[in-house]
Amino acid sequence: MFKDKMNFKLLNILIFCLIIYLGIITFNVWGSIIAKIIAIIIPFIVSFAVAYAFYPIVRKLRKKGLSNSLSVTIVSASVLFIIFFLIIITVPLVYDQLVLLSQSIGEVMTDLSSKFEINLGDFQTTINNMMNNIIESAGRYVSDGTVNLVGRAMDFMSSAIIIVILSIYFLADMEKIRAEVKSLLLRNKKRIRTYEYVKVLDRELGQYLNGLAIFIGIQFVEYTLLFRIIGHPNWLLLGLLASITTVIPYFGGLITNIIAVILASVVSVPLFIATLVICLIFPNIDGYIISPRVYGRTNNINAMWTIFAVVAGGTLFGIVGIMVSLPVYIALNCTYKFFKNDILDTVSNIKDSKIEGKKKNKEDGNN
């Protein structure tokens, strides 16, 4: 009798609310534990992603007859050489151009204030102080360095070294890892469908990561040369910014173009016009010619959903959310397309079962 009267739905809701409440009041305890766990596993995730991105190159070298160890060594050494070469070449130039950038920003503020009679006193002071602090910090880091900067640099270097070492290990064992996953999924016939899904997801994400790496390199060379040719004083910074902001679809290139045009406007009219031409023509070339050829046709994604993913990722997780928003969206989109028919069949079965249940209840009521 008591069982028939008990409202189990209400009881489940109360238990769920109690769990949420306990989770909120104990957040300081388990939140710090989760944060430490995430801090521990992040280097492994980043290292695996790096190895996953460069694995196709290793596979191509192996198809040409090279051994796995030699292929991994060639790829790892080439990537490290390029990184060190760029650091040695770009660090002095970046510092010099930071000084020029600070001067250009000051000239922009003064020019805007005089032309449009806008009072930018406090804002201009804030910008100048911020740029001076950046330059001063960079100068201290390059010359003497403070304890804080050295400590941060050591932390960054240690993390980078760990990620590099882990990436090489993952790259060397990537073939074994993929074989183990394949074997695990194919042990049971019921998992064949899951294996097919993993293959599709692997192809989509691999295409994106490989294309992104190539596209970043193309963007750096392209815009560095273009801004250098027209004589833009901040050509190297803009080339670096154009390549880095490639990870932010649509908005990244726009940010670089706006900065380039504003800085060119205070130098000369010809430079302003040349910069404007570059910012109007070459993004379209990148978007409609270079990008489709690099990424191929597998990552055919909707522009509106891409923008939504970037905005949502930035709002929820900041810069990290922006960087991972597109691969996460590609994974979700791929998952939905693969299981679309299964989802529609499940929804249809649920609707049919509800309709049959209502008919049965009506028949029981009539009887």
Q: Which of 100-109, 176-185, 217-226 shows the lowest mean pLDDT across its residues?
A: 100-109
- Residue 64 class from Cβ within 10 Å (0-12 exposed, 13-18 middle, 19+ buried)? exposed
User: Does residue 68 form part of some domain?
Assistant: yes
pLDDT of 225: 92
User: Does residue 32 form part of some domain?
Assistant: no
Locus of tokens 């990244």: 252
Over the stretch 303-340, which tens digit does the pLDDT of each residue have? 677 778 777 877 777 767 777 888 888 888 888 888 88
pLDDT above 70 coverage of the chain, percent? 68
Q: Inter-axis angle of helices 68-116 and 251-265, to 10 degrees?
A: 50
Model confidence at 89: pLDDT above 80: no
| 208 shares a domain with 147 | no
Mean pLDDT of the chain: 75
User: Does residue 359 form part of some domain?
Assistant: no
User: Does residue 350 form part of some domain?
Assistant: no
Locus of tokens 């192809």: 203
| 262 shares a domain with 304 | yes
| 229 shares a domain with 103 | no
Domain that holds residue 74: 45-168
| 319 shares a domain with 194 | yes
Residues 6+ apart with CB under 8 A from 233: 97, 100, 104, 263, 267
| 91 shares a domain with 231 | no
* Number of domains, the chain: 2
User: Does residue 182 form part of some domain?
Assistant: no
Domain final residue, candidates 134, 168, 202:
168
Give residue 229's pLDDT band: very low, low, confident or very high (50, 70, 90).
very high
